Amino acid sequence: MDFPGPQEKAGLLLGSGPGVGVAGCFLKESSTPSMERWRGRLALVTGASCGIGAAVARALVQRGLKVVGCARTVSNIEKLAAECQSAGYPGTLVPYKCDLSHEEDILSMFSAVRTQHKGVDICINNAGLARPEPLLSGHTSGWKDMLNVNVLAVSICTREAYQSMRERSVDDGHIINISSMLGHRVVAQSDVHFYSATKFAITALTEGLRQELREANTHIRATCISPGLVETGFAFKLHDNDPVKAAETYEHIKCLKPEDVAEAVIFVLSTPPHVQIGDIQIMPTEQVT
């Protein structure tokens, strides 16, 4: 191990010199996180029509990536694409209509990406939904809806993204699952217990993916980002019959913004290829549970 000389020690104490000392460490300039290696490469973002997905898509386009944003309704993505172009962002946003509850739609999307854009370098599984279906009285159809989008679609997109990377010898790709703090603890709210179970599944799937990627001797990385309460339209879809209750969800504390989660995505992608971030748990400072 090399130890810093007198001038480097001064840098450690005074914050000057070729690096900056943090907690007794000497950081080289080359360790500074950067998104530069991703410029011009392709990221797939599911659920890109609103909320976190739209914020992530915008952040990536701002940093020079080509982004395929998919959703069942693409009008909002088309509007966002026009905004990004008008703003002069160096990347591009390509809207794509896809119903993630149907495997054939997902496979068709990946085929189109392969034909038109060669393939996927980053896959951000953001799309998700919740139905107010308690465990003791919920409808099976609602449970199936959540499983199809929150678990199966994530698994299918992950498999297809990995195959896309491998067939092009992409060894530095990244798969990011947008989960939830509800994938780490169960709250006393019966409406979200089944939804919480699907997010616990994502926690397990992401770690399982990380292990399989290691077994495959790749340097493709897997990360889970678990936000707490984010101010989006999520509560209004969950409580679509009670808009007052939905609005109250976001009124009692200062919530996260979609852009906060997008910044976490950028941080994860900007870390050096040898750095593996398994899970980021991010929640409002004022959130208790």
Residues 6+ apart with CB under 8 A from 144: none
Separation of alpha carbons 8 and 18, rounded Å: 8
Helices (H), the chain: 6-14, 51-62, 75-86, 103-117, 140-146, 153-167, 193-215, 234-238, 243-249, 258-270
Closest C-alpha among 46, 173, 66, 63 to residue 122:
173
Separation of alpha carbons 164 and 181, rounded Å: 30
- Cα 24 to Cα 6, 9, 17, 21, 217: the distances in Å are 15, 10, 15, 6, 33
Separation of alpha carbons 269 and 122, rounded Å: 9
Separation of alpha carbons 190 and 148, rounded Å: 20
Marked catalytic residue, from 89, 96, 162, 195: 195
Q: Which residues of 137-170 are buried (b: 16+ CB within 10 A; e: fewer)?
A: ebeeebbebbbbbbbbbbebbbebbbebbeeeeb
9, HSE (Cβ side, Cα atoms, 13 Å): 5
| Tokens standing for residue 9 | 């020690």
Task: Let me know: does 129 contact 146? Beta carbons within 8 Å.
Answer: yes
Question: Hey, which residues does 43 pair with through a beta bridge?
Answer: 67, 122
162 in active site: no
Question: Hey, which residues does 27 pair with through a beta bridge?
Answer: 20
Q: What are the catalytic residues?
A: 195
